[in-house]
Amino acid sequence: MPSITEPKLISGNANLPLAKAIARRMSIHRGVSTGLVDARIERFNDGEIFVEVFENVRGEDMFIIQSTSNPANDNLMELLIMSDALRRSSAARITAVIPYFGYARQDRRTKARTPISAKLVANMLVEAGIERVLTLDLHAAQIQGFFDIPVDNLYASPIFALDIKAHFAGRMNDLMVISPDVGGVARARELAKRINAPLAIVDKRREKPGEIAEMTVIGDVTGKTCLIVDDICDTAGTLCKAAEVLIENGASEVHSYITHGVLSGPAVERITKSVMKSLVITDSIEAPDAVKAAPNIRIVPTAPMFAQAILNIWNGTSVSSLFETETLDPIYEGTFKL
């Protein structure tokens, strides 16, 4: 049954452009003007974060839009403190919309005496008063089980499928989806099924973190236009090396579709100089000027999907319907036309 309260959006500093785009999209979907709740987020001289909300939120259905991207600790603290401020202001429900969930790569103990930081972050979010989480392409699906509250994990593959069908029209039979490691096969297979393309794997072996000893292509990529699919691109070392190995094994072109463009350190320079024709990322993390200026990096929007997901949560209707291309197609109508 639809709620009688209005959905209200509030944003931290992590990705204001995305938050404003979501608000615009919600206004279009509803035909009612939706803006961001007026608030200020300040830092004291010692770096402490202070939040003040200027609008009445008592009894309201609140959605905090905040990626926990770089600087991860500052953005995470902003999210926690905003939630505490809203809870103490008697908000009816607080949903954290976290397009990029930081610390997700620390989802298990890989060695003795190491933390499971993703679980710690989950505990902190719940303790701060958050009652629901909406995120995009979690690094590990089992992180949903770290929470004792509902977690809606959206997928970028339907958006990528729409982009691929627009940009590779007439060449769909030449496409092959590539998983850059064995662990990402399920994600790559999902996109391959959506575009009806075959699947191959680049098997990598590491001597130690950050260094790749050997890469082997499992599958025949000769003459294929290869699409590498992954959830996170950080320094881009593995991605660029995989592209080189694919070309060496006979691929005609290599493109990459990565959900979260962390792109730290030398990543942009590596991608610009690599054999990849294009890297497509989402706007889950606000892109710096260097990324926007890179000639072979494109950014696809997630605001239409997040806006609809927020409205579905507010209305109490299905979020999983957004996993289907048929559902997203009208939401993204005109976005991917060449």
Query: 230: annotated binding-site residue?
Result: yes
Q: Are strands 49-53 and 93-98 parallel, antiparallel or unpaired?
A: unpaired
CATH of domain 157-300: 3.40.50.2020
Q: Which CATH class is domain 7-155+303-331?
A: alpha beta
Does the annotation list 181 as a binding residue? yes
Catalytic residues: 204
Collapsing DSSP to helix, strand or coil, 337 comes out as coil
What residue spans define the domains of the chain? 7-155+303-331, 157-300
Query: Is the separation of the CB atoms in 195 and 174 below 8 Å?
Result: no
The most distant pair of C-alpha atoms in the chain lies apart, rounded to whole Å, by: 61
Q: Are strands 61-65 and 7-11 parallel, antiparallel or unpaired?
A: parallel
Amino acid of residue 146: F
- Do the first three CATH levels of 7-155+303-331 and 157-300 match, i.e. the same topology? yes
Per DSSP, what are the bridge partners of residue 214? Answer: 205
Which pTM was predicted?
0.93
Q: pLDDT of the chain along its 338 residues, tens only? A: 344 578 999 999 999 999 999 999 999 988 888 999 999 999 999 999 999 999 999 999 999 999 999 999 999 999 999 999 999 999 999 999 999 999 999 999 988 999 999 999 999 999 999 999 999 999 988 999 999 999 999 999 999 999 999 999 989 999 999 999 888 899 999 999 999 999 999 987 766 655 566 888 999 999 999 999 999 999 999 899 999 999 999 999 999 999 999 999 999 999 999 999 999 999 999 999 999 999 999 999 999 999 999 999 999 999 998 888 788 888 888 787 65
CB distance 314 to 308 below 8 Å: no
The reply to whether 237 sits in an annotated binding site is yes
